Amino acid sequence: MKKRGVALLLALFIMMLASLLVISFVELTTTDLQITDNLYRRDQALYLADAGVEYAIYALQGNKNWKRSNKPIELPGGSGGTYDVTYDNENGTITSTGLLSSGQSVTLEANVSVTGVKSPYKVSIIYWREKH
């Protein structure tokens, strides 16, 4: 009779241990998925902001007095993700913010030099960094 009682306690202990392992694994997996989703969204916002800087450089090649886009530009169309970009002629700074419909945003700043006497102007990048 003692062997049966020990076997039952041992089986319950093993089941409890297995349950704890499964719960821990599920919790870790859920956390990893949340981290991956956050990184994915941040990268999407970064790429949008990057597109805004590229757009400004393109615009400056045609018009060195270009200041900003009139409204945020949705990219790709229908996605809800936008970038808003401005250019400060005085200090040569392009500022672009990528914004997802989820609210995630990233802002990039690039300092450029625009030279030349007629279009297409030469745009030289001095620095390009994430703005915090």
Tell me the pLDDT tens digit for each residue of 26-71: 999 999 999 999 999 999 999 999 999 999 999 999 999 999 878 8
What is the number of other CB atoms lying within 10 angstroms of the CB of residue 107? Answer: 18
Q: Looking at residues 4-24, what average pLDDT do you find?
A: 90
Domain ranges of the chain: 2-131
**How confident is the model over 93-114, as a mean pLDDT?**
97
The structure tokens listed for 101 are: 């419909």
- Residue 85 β-bridge partners: 96
SS3 content of the chain, % helix, strand, coil (to 5): 45, 30, 25
